[in-house]
Structure 1
Amino acid sequence: MLAIIAVGGAVGFRSLLEGLGQFYYLPMVPAVLITAMLARRIATGLAIVLSIAVNLTLVPRESLTDALTNALLFAAVSWILAEVCWAMRAMQDRTRDLSRQLAAKDVMLNTALASVPVVTLNAEGEVRHLSPAASTLFGLNEAAAVGRPFSELASGFDVAAILGSGATGGALEARDGHWTGLRPDGATFPLSIQFGVASDPIGDTHVALCLTDLSRWHAADAQARELHAQLNKVWRLNSLGEMAATLAHELNQPLSAAATYLHASQVDMEKAGALGGSALRTVELAKGQLLRAGKIIRRMRELLSPEARRLDSERASSMVEDLGPILTMIGSSKGVAIRMEVEAGNDRVRAERIQFQQAMVNLVRNAVEAVGEHAAPEVVVVGRPTSDTHYRISVEDNGPGIAEDQIERIFQPLTTTKTGGMGLGLSVTRTIVESHGGRLQVSRSALGGAAFSFTLNRESSVENA
């Protein structure tokens, strides 16, 4: 239809030009071009055929050869022009596609820059652009920052060091581990910097800085260290309590025996009459001091031994997740990655949070030390409900395991296989577990090493989150 309309229009235009002279195929060329620009090859071929037919009908020719030659020449020229039109259409389509792709990428880039603190500098270290996130980070609008040295925003920053290194990108290290960002009100915050260097076509050098505020990371690290210190404090107190109990048990017997011997000596001295009176008083004083020493030991045992714990409703997964930074530090010291497989559903239990976490830290530390020499060390913390009333926690490793004849002995106080160890770790852990109504058990792990496990009573009356 387009070919017919275009050729019809060309014929009408040709009729208007008849008064000016003889026109052959020239008025028909626009019809072919219009069809080629708006339609495909079939329609364009039809326009060429119709143009030739109309021309042969309206214009008398001297001979068949003349008519055929002009027709073929018109067809060839028209097809070449049509090919040019199609190429231009393809280029326009490609240009539109590229424009849409570039627009989409531009939107994505602007979105990324809006959410990430990015600063661009010139070769002199002066700010050329601040992303909205960077403006928020420094508490400074872009207009006030442009043209200022970036060293005024990050203490100690030196762009010459970056350009002099020849590196095109990477992390920018600070002397004390992090950079210090400065805000207009004098506030400071820890900062990490990633940089990239590029040159534009006219030779200007640009430095792009990607910034990260480390305040939350530092706060989380400080919180983890505080929790670690708190657990260590509780651990020392429990260890002292365990030691006091052991010493009280071991010392009470010789003290009682010494008091008995002194009493027997008093009986013999009383038989000596007046001659033994002075010695009798001295022995009585010594006996009194021995009995006093026994009372002191019992009082220390009562003071330092773990008191009756008040168990609260806690989520087992939450208590273990809070230990994540501490367990990571324990594992990284030996190059061991600790895997968590604690089910978060139906995990409401009765527990004393700090004491439970203290026991977990000790079990994981023992597991990490056990696999320290393994080529592919594995430590996994597993937690899952085992019934309507119990939730089981286990710490498993692929270390050498525990020998059968050592299973009962390792829980005894002052028994250790570690050089420099006091032998109180597993004893204190067992005391904590038992105070929670559980029993610490050791068995062979599916990983090939040891598996220390215990159960906590589930809080069935509380709806699990």
Structure 2
Amino acid sequence: MLSGLVPLGLTAGGRGEVCAGDKDWGARTGADGIMKQAFSLWPSQQSPEALRVPRNVNGKLPPWASGMPTTALRGSRHYFQAAALVLAAAFAGGTSILALPGPGGAGASWRWLALALAGLALLAVFMLVLRLLDRLQRGEARAYAIFERAGVSLWEEDWTAASQAVLALKQQGIHDIQAHFTAHPEQARTLRRKVIIRNVNAFTVQMMGARGPEDFIGPLDRILPDTDQTFVQWLVALANGESVFRSEAHITRPDGSVIDTIFMAELPKSLDGFAHIVVTAIDITDYKAAHARLVAAETELARASRVITVGTLTASLAHEVNSPLAAIVVNAEACLRWMHRPIPDLAEAEAAIARVVNDATRARDVVARTRAFLSNTPRQHRHLDLTEAARDAIMIVERELRGHGVSMHFDADSDLPKVVADQIQIQQVLVNLLLNGAHAMAETPAPRDLTLTLRHVGQDVQVAVRDRGVGIAPEQLARIFQPFHSTRAGGMGMGLAICRNCVEAHGGRLWAESTLGEGSTFHVTLPAAGL
């Protein structure tokens, strides 16, 4: 179950070490040297504060819950209703005119004149209807042309059931949607099956390597796997009344292969608008693969550089230590000779021993100076947003979690205080705990739910990583934090020991709870800043 510690700069992409120096596959560096976000697993990352998912926990319903119905034909429907009323009025008026008694021929002429005017009115209404029908047909043709010839992947989806479920939860007083679905992942899976794909354009068919739109029409969960992390973010955006949703997702092709996409959708302003949501998707699989190869090359170059550095350091250290060691040997042999003389020369022997002590001290100082040099970098303690650090950690291991078929669930208190900590070390701890949880569920049947929660408890921030693996036996639970003890084949048994040292160095605690057959939960507490 337990894995070795994964350095922050490394993540596993198909088990091979890939540097994730960019905390996001879509991160890029601008001309000013500042990292720019191109895309992300998370909806919005314009600023560190935006990493916190908006909660809308004030009890208010989203704007679309009370919005006016919006239909494409609403204006045209009013025109048709008006035309029908005019037509009915003209027909009724003409009938009434024919039924009126009149004085001789003059009355008959008057009635026929009225009928002619009614006929002209009918003709005007008929021409209006024809113009409206023509406008409607041209509008439909234009919409069809945009949908089919846009040159990007477009999906028409029905999110009515999801919006109704979110609205029902809020009306029941459940306003923290992310926390709710983190605690009840089965409900999210049920809702994903109720989201219906109505249609896709030709570009989507080509991008997905499908036979036609019929390969996609149906429930969303056929193409959005359980390992995707964005569906709950959709539900949070709906609950908050967001106008636009954008994120990254991996979707399943008809042949079973998976591609990475970045998608965006404008969310409706009324409840009936959820029946026709248009989603735009862009395939970024090749980009991410190329980026992974580039980062892998950079990692290999860095590794080679480290090997050279270690070799140089080893040669230098050997040179520095060999000199006092050789002197120690010479002086020790001299001491023995002075002691073995028929009349031992104690003064010379004592002097030789003193030189041995001096040379040994010199060798010790060489090792101490080298150790001080290697640990010279001070810890970068600062006020750290654990929500941001946790999101980064999830993104670092996202591909390996997906490879293990793990469904990641994340929830954090909206009022979570910051902690004073070294970001690199804390992310090392989170990455290692997440990978441990994934490995613990490697042999368990799906669904494999891995949950990471952040809570404000008293004067501490508490992190919990819970898996649904096989669990840890009680006799093993007390030993899992000991160095070189591992319950996983091939494990080094150093990961959790280093994690505990990191946490305790920050004034926190790390412990585990487990039940055989039900899984394990690893808890981390860190003191909140300013409390």
TM-score (norm 1): 0.47
Higher helix share: 1
**Which protein has greater RCO, CA pairs closer than 8 Å, 6+ apart?**
2
